[in-house]
Amino acid sequence: MRSKLLRPVVELFNAGSVIDVNMLNRQQAFSTPLHFVLRRLKTYRDHIQLRWPNRDKPATVILVEWTRMHFGNSRPWLVCYKCNRRRTKLYVTSIDVACRQCWSLQYVSQAQRRKVRLKTRLENIRGRLWIEGEKIIRPRYMPDRVFKRHIKAIARIEYAIRHDLHCSSIRYQRYRERDADGRYLGEETNEQMF
């Protein structure tokens, strides 16, 4: 059987080789021109210049696009020059800069099998709770309804692991019947209410 880990993994990139627009925006890099010497970046309102270690190679210009948000704010996006799509992160190698899809990168979880993903999810939920031996205790500041939701999720995931089943989130398990027009059955339309 072939391994699913055929492509490079996003987690192998260190923080210095990822350009994150949200991190730059938190540092207010787009309000005034800033120069990040160690990362070889110079930021402006509408673009970023990335200088390469090889001085013969010209600097790469990465466009910054702004979209309007609610309540008058706006947020920046980096434009990948290969696919011309808005991205929050671009990955830098020694030769080029591009988005995750253009580099055909994948996350570690995409290469894991179902049982491993479920066990990882189970450990993440257990990490939020207090455990003494085999007994699960509600953390002091955790609301009771959240604690009960975590307990149900643990039971559901453990059942799926034991019986080799899929275990998707509850919101993906909802299914409601529809009529021929695509409306949900059992709902009253506005015309029927009057």
Predicted confidence (pLDDT) per residue in 74-126, tens digit: 999 999 999 999 999 999 988 899 999 999 888 888 878 888 889 999 999 99
Same domain, yes or no: 88 and 163: no
Collapsing DSSP states into helix, strand and coil, what is residue 99?
coil
How far from chain centre, in Å, is Cα 74? 20
The answer to whether residue 186 is domain-embedded is no
Residue 58 in tokens: 């010209």
Say if CB 62 and CB 19 are below 8 A apart. yes
- pLDDT at residue 50 greater than cutoff 80: yes
Same domain, yes or no: 160 and 128: yes
Same domain, yes or no: 80 and 156: no
Same domain, yes or no: 61 and 94: yes
- CA angle 183-188-193, nearest 5°? 140
Say if CB 47 and CB 64 are below 8 A apart. yes
52-67: pLDDT as tens digits: 988 889 999 999 999 9
Q: Give the pLDDT of residue 38.
A: 76
Beta strands in 28-82 (DSSP E): 34-36, 41-43, 47-50, 60-68, 74-79
Find the domain containing 58 and state its range.
10-103
Same domain, yes or no: 162 and 120: yes
Say if CB 186 and CB 178 are below 8 A apart. no
Cα 174 to Cα 27: distance, rounded to the nearest angstrom = 41
Number of domains in the chain: 2
- pLDDT at residue 39 greater than cutoff 70: yes
The answer to whether residue 189 is domain-embedded is no
Same domain, yes or no: 29 and 91: yes
Same domain, yes or no: 96 and 142: no
